[in-house]
Structures are given as structure tokens and as C-alpha cells.
Structure 1
Amino acid sequence: MKTKIIKAIVQVLITAFVCFLWFACNSKEKVKQHQKVEMTAADILGNPNYLAISYGGYRENSRDIQPTIEELKDDMKLLYAMGVRIIRTYNVQPQLPHASNVLKAITAIKKEDPNFQMYVMLGAWIDCLYAWTGLEPNHDIESPNNEGEIKRAIALANQYSDIVKIIAVGNEAMVKWATSYYVQPNVILKWVNHLQELKKKGELPKDLWITSSDDFSSWGGGDASYHTEDLVNLIKSVDYVSMHTYAYHNSHYNPEFWKIPDNQQNISDIEKIDNAMLRAKEFAMQQYDSVKNYMKSIGVYKPIHIGETGWATTSSGHYGVNGSRASDEYKQGLYYKHLREWTRKAGISCFYFEAFDEQWKDAQNPNGSENHFGLINLKNEAKYPIWSLFDKGVFKGLTRNGKPITKSFNGDKNELMKTVLVPNTEYNR
């Protein structure tokens, strides 16, 4: 009898021990899964598994017509299917609840699917005094609206700390060609320092990264006039540098790289086009290196990521048939491919501009280039850069505006190539 009792006790102990081990291992796995989901900016930026993109969900020709939460959810699901895990928004102005609604949409999807991951680089728009008023902008004084914009960004970053991983103070807010609204670097520095101080006090998440997203020249990579003490202090204050580079626009404004070299005049048209797009990639890489070299010259070594770069597919102006002839889906496809390959290999996040076409940007000119930077157009067509994703079936069962995603040109590359022109630099700019 004693032997049976002892054996029973041993069996119970063994069973309990096995259960304990299973529970412990399962708990560790759950912790690992939780840790995997709760990513920080430091984990996400430069991570090839966390594809970045710039996002605006506006469908109509005016931002007065805001996309609904359901429409934003559709977009988030499409982006997730494309491999995107972090998006960039631009403002939190009270009359434009787009960013806050994006956060609501992501939260709603996460409740439906706990495994869903989408993070946000939240933009706070910064203006100078009298920007957009009809009065002469005063670039040395900031708009009184900036304080409210920063407060709203802070509130959203705290409310959605599981989603908002970065705050960007301003968008192209320091570059001097933004004549309608640019400010001096000391304004950006003021607000970046303010946010960094809130992190120290525990009034913002300590892992939240703070930056400003601006043209490469604004970060010291261009004209020496930008090399000021305030810029040096700003670079030292941000957690990383978010720089913009646009070979597309420079095909008109700075076209030397776009010209067909003398030794390539006799090659085929397709070779001329392919080589031009390789030069466009090199153009972006050179601007990236110029910022890196300036930062090195001031003794600062911290991450640099690309906050914006992109390529439009239609232009009735500078980049169309009577201009540089940069605009078409084939060239967009090559640029997208080259930039993704380079940045993945280099450990750089690239918030490619942009996910979807938006027609409000040049509402009076439907064929204006600013309306056509998206990878998916307003007819729900995946453009050439992501035809391969369509072919893999990633959009199956997903819709936008109640309609499925199809392929531009019905997937006929021969039809697409009829729209592709050799780069032109022999025109009056």
C-alpha cells in the first residue's frame, strides 16, 4: 500500500513539474510575443522588417472632406498587406482630424486582431507668423498656432503610446524655398527641446523619438547659408535626422544628373531610361551622404533616415512631355525598387512618398504632379512598382472605397511602356 501511495505521489509531482515547465515556457513565449509587438522607434527605424511609408488618406479634391474611420481602416489593412509597419502623418490641426482618426482606426483594427502591427511617425505642422493669411509671412517669428499643434501632438503621443513612436516637429519647415511658411531653425529647436524635456520629466514616453522632417539642405547637406549655430544645436537635440531628397523635382530644377551623357547618346532608349534612374538613385545617395558628412564635421554621429522621397507618374508641367519627361509608372517603379534596395541594405528607413494618390494637393489641375505620387491611384489600381505584390495575391479580399485593387494598364507592360519617354533636358526651364 505504501509503495502505491509513494508512486502516486511521485506521479503527481512529475505531472505538476511538467505542467510548471509548460506554463513557464508558455509564459516566456507570451512575454516574447508581447515584447515583439511593443516596439520602440529604436527597434523600428532601420529595421528591414518594418517598411515605412508616407500616408494621406484623402480621396476627394478638398481636405474638408475627411476620410471616415472605416476608409482609414481599409487603407491600414492594404498597407499592412504591402509589408508596411510604420506610417508618417503630417499635422494634427484641429480642423483636420486625419491623424487622430488614423490612430483610432489602427486601435480598432488591433482590437479585432491583436497581432496587427502599425506604428506612426506623428507630424506636428509648424508655420511662421502670417503663413497662409495673404499677409507677408514673417519668417523670423513663429505662428501662435504652433503651441497648440505641439500640445495636440503631445496628447496623442500619450494617448496612443503603443502606436505613436516618433514626433516630427515640422515638415519642410526650415527650407527657404518653402516661402509660404518656413521658420528659422531656432523655432524648431525650441519645440524639440521642449519635447525632450517632457520625456525627461516622464510627461512623454521615454522611448519616443523626436525629430524634424526636412529637406537635405536644411540639415546642412546643401548651401552653407544653412550652417548656423542653431542648426548644430538642433542636430544635437533630435534623436535622429529625418531628411528629404527628391531627384524627381531636381530633374527640372537641377537637371545635370538627368542629362544623357555624351558617351550614352547612341545606346537604346530603354537603356537611356534605365541609366537615368540609376543616376536618380545615386543623386539621392549623394544627398544622404552630404548630410552625413556635415554631421560628421560638427562631431555628431546619430541615425539619419529618409523622411520623404518619391516619384510622380503624371505631370502636365515641369516633369511631363514638355518638361523633363520624368513622369511615368515605369520610372516610378525603377526609383521605388532602387531606393528600397539601397535603404534596406544600408539599414535606413525610407518613408516613401507616398501610399495613395491624393487629388487635393493640386485640385485645380488634375494632371498636376503633386496629385500622382502614390503607389495606388484613385481608381484603386496598383501602379507598376507594386504589380509584383498584386501578383502574389497580397490584396486578395481587401478593398478601397468598396472596390478591389486591380493593376494599372490591366497589367499590360507593353501598354505601360507606350507612355514612357526618354529623359529630356533640352527645354526652356
Structure 2
Amino acid sequence: MNRNEPLTIEPGKAICYSGFREGQSPDTGVYPTYEQIKEDLLILHDHWKYLRLYDCDEQTDLVLEVIRKEKLDFKVMLGAYIGAEMNNFGCPWGGSYSEEELIQNKERNQTQIYKLIKLANQYPEIIFSLSAGNEALVNWSDHYVPMESVIKYVRMIKAGAKQPVTFCENYAPWLDKLKALVDEVDFISIHTYPVWEYKNIHEAMEYTKQNYYSVADKYPHKPVVITEAGWATNSNGRGISSENVSQDLQEIYYNDLIGWSEKEEVLTFVFEAFDEPWKGSQEPMEPEKHWGLFTVDRKPKKVMRKIYTEL
């Protein structure tokens, strides 16, 4: 894609991918191997066209290497992970840092942006779009970054790479707080999670559509992509009622979401491919661990069983 031409992102099945398995996490620096990532991508490649990656880390290096070496037909939205550059005392799970930590984060953020640009230029046939960050401007973020920094990062990416640039954020801030950012990005990326907002399955798809159209109608001159939408399958009751999540409910929401997305030609990244036990608290039923369409041992959940009977 050339930024000087009209932005066209073809609709297609899209999914968020992170390959951390039991005993692996970005916090400990234990990453999936080449063969593990290859296994994952072979599971996904017949059914999804687009992958979303969140970070320019060692895992991302291997994902891009696997796609190129194994000649897999994926297009990647690549993001930079930007850490907190200021304290957010309103975050309920910890948004406070020392001044030294904030300075270090700013330095790491610059490094992330530079690596994002490098990878975009190294893999132009695979990486189709770039994100300057993820959920760093919403009021509950534990890695809050000032708007002026995000705008600076967007401009740096635009100056260094040819792919269209976005920023991935919950739908709500785009309606008011992020107006200045709208003019900077090539397209808007929103997240919509009805189950986090206490909606039941009967309300869920209508709520997702409301989230999408509230942003798309406000900025008719900008394309809008959904970069996260999904339904958890377990919960310890914190933030999400345990009665409101299950594999049956995930299947209903997924099918409704895909049906609507294909009909309306909205590029929608399902959250997410595989369960990730490293996320959230130590409790096994922590909902953050249970959004995958597949379990952490790569077995299909109910929503995927019809097309993955061999796994």
C-alpha cells in the first residue's frame, strides 16, 4: 500500500496472535520457539488471512521469519508496545511508576518505534499496516502515554515506513479524547468487548455494532477497523460474571461477529487465537487467560471443532 493512494484494506478473516505457552511469557523473557510458532501458524493459515501482532519482540522476529521461510500466505498488522510514560493513578491494577522507570520506558518506546520501522521495511510483502501502540490512552490503562507522545510516534512511523499507520484503542476514547489523533492516523482501530461491559449474549452483537458505528459515523472520512473483539470462555467472577462466559457463548458471539463483519465488509480481528496462561492474576480462572479460540495446548474450543476435527 502506498500512503499517497486511497486506503484500501480488503476484508478477510483476521485474528490476534500471540504464541506464549505454559511457562512462557514476555515478562520472563521465555519465548516460543521457531517450531512452536510454525505449528501455530500452520493451524491458522488455512482459515485466516490477517494476523495482528502486538509487539516488536523476539517472538515477532520469529513469526515474520516463519511466514517468509515457510511461504505462508499471511498479511500482518504489526504493533509497537509502548510502556507508561506517565503515572495513571486511576488504574485499579497498578499504573504508578518511579521517575526513573518512566524515563526508561520512554527510551524503550523509542527503541520499539525504531524496530517497528525496521521490520516494516524488512518485510514489506508481509506487513500491511503498523500500529503506534495499544490501549495506552484509555483512562484505565496501566501503561499510560500522553497524547503528544503517541502523535510523535505516529509521525515517526509515517516518516520511516510506507505502510498505513494506526493506533489501537478501545472504541470510547475515539469519540472525544482522541480527536487530535484521528487527523494523524491513516485509519482508526477500535476494540469492542461487550462482555467486559456487562452485556449478555443477547445484547452483545448489537452493542458491538453500536460501538463500531458510533466511531465510523463520527469520522466518515477515515476507515475504521476492529482490531479486537471476542468472548472469554472462563472467569473467576472479577470483572466478568462467570455465568456470562462459556464455550457455547463464545461460539454464538464469534459466529454473529463474523457474519456481520463479512456482510458489512468490516475488517475485524478476533481476540484471540490461543489461550495465554501468563496473563492477569495467578488465579486459573482469571478471564484474561481464556479468550482463545483454542486452548493453550492447541486444542480447538467448541467454536472451532467443526473445522478442526483433526486436532
Task: Give the TM-score band, short-chain normalised.
Answer: 0.7 to 0.9
Does the Cα contact within 8 Å between 1:124 and 1:153 map onto a contact in 2? yes
Q: Percent identity?
A: 31
Structure 2: distance between partners of 1:60 and 1:279: 34
Cα distance per residue 1:17-76 (max 9 Å; x no partner): xxxxxxxxxxxxxxxxxxxxxxx9955x342xx311000000024412210011111111
- Residue 308 of structure 2 is aligned to residue 384 of structure 1: no
- Give the TM-score of the pair, scaled to structure 1: 0.65
Structure 2 equivalent of residue 53 of structure 1: 15
State the one-letter code of the partner of 2:195: Y
Question: Structure 1 345/236 Cα, relative in aligned 2: closer, same or farther at 3 Å?
Answer: same
Structure 2 equivalent of residue 282 of structure 1: 206
Does the Cα contact within 8 Å between 2:85 and 2:146 map onto a contact in 1? no
Structure 2 equivalent of residue 360 of structure 1: 278
Structure 2 equivalent of residue 310 of structure 1: 230
State the one-letter code of the partner of 2:188: V
Partner secondary structure for residue 217 of structure 1: helix
Cα distance per residue 1:229-258 (max 9 Å; x no partner): xx333212211111001101111xxxxxx3
- Following superposition, the deviation at residue 193 of structure 1 comes to 1.7
- Following superposition, the deviation at residue 319 of structure 1 comes to 5.8
> How many residues align structurally?
296
**Equivalent of 1:109 in 55, 70, 77:** 70
Aligned positions of 1:241-260 closer than 5 A: 241-251=188-198, 258=199
Does the Cα contact within 8 Å between 2:38 and 2:66 map onto a contact in 1? yes
- Residue 184 of structure 2 is aligned to residue 237 of structure 1: yes
Bigger share in helix: 1
**Equivalent of 1:345 in 235, 252, 263:** 263
Cα distance per residue 1:156-195 (max 9 Å; x no partner): 11111111111111100111111x2112222211111222
Partner secondary structure for residue 343 of structure 1: helix
Aligned positions of 1:135-214 closer than 5 A: 135=97, 143-178=106-141, 180-198=142-160, 204-205=161-162, 208-214=163-169
Structure 2 equivalent of residue 29 of structure 1: none
- Residue 41 of structure 2 is aligned to residue 76 of structure 1: yes
- Following superposition, the deviation at residue 294 of structure 1 comes to 2.7
Does the Cα contact within 8 Å between 1:41 and 1:209 map onto a contact in 2? no
Runs of at least 5 residues in structure 2 that lack an aligned partner in the other structure:
88-93
Q: Output the aligned Cα RMSD.
A: 2.4
Structure 2: distance between partners of 1:367 and 1:354: 17
- Residue 59 of structure 2 is aligned to residue 98 of structure 1: yes
Structure 2: distance between partners of 1:209 and 1:71: 30
- Give the TM-score of the pair, scaled to structure 2: 0.88
State the one-letter code of the partner of 2:244: A
Structure 2: distance between partners of 1:236 and 1:97: 32
Does the Cα contact within 8 Å between 2:24 and 2:32 map onto a contact in 1? no
Structure 2 equivalent of residue 87 of structure 1: 51
Partner secondary structure for residue 44 of structure 2: helix
Structure 1 equivalent of residue 90 of structure 2: none
Structure 1: distance between partners of 2:64 and 2:268: 21
Runs (4+) off by over 4 Å: 40-43, 130-134
**Equivalent of 1:334 in 252, 265, 268:** 252
